[in-house]
Amino acid sequence: MVAPMPIRFDAIVIGAGQAGPSLAARLTAAGRTVALVERKLFGGTCVIRDVLQQRRWWRAHMRPIRRDARRFMA
């Protein structure tokens, strides 16, 4: 049986990205009642859309272009 949800919370964590769930877990471990609110999917934008890999790819491909551009800037 599921316990009824409290009407009042000690903390409300907005966003279930990389920091949200760990913060909610730490607060719960400290004896606080916590509500975790997420609009879409858990994991956050960077994890779901693989933003970090895209940044690495972008940097790797832009490095030679930036290096060549410096030669023409005087």
Continuous segment of H or E residues that includes residue 63: helix 51-72
Of 41 and 22, the one with more pLDDT: 22
Maximum pairwise Cα distance, the chain = 72
The dihedral over CA atoms of 17, 19, 25, 28, expressed in degrees to the nearest 10, equals -100
pLDDT digits (tens, 9 = 90+) for 17-37: 888 999 999 999 999 999 999
Average pLDDT over residues 50-68: 72
Higher pLDDT pick, 62 / 37: 37
Residue 49: pLDDT band with limits 50, 70, 90 = low
Q: What's the pLDDT score for residue 11? A: 94
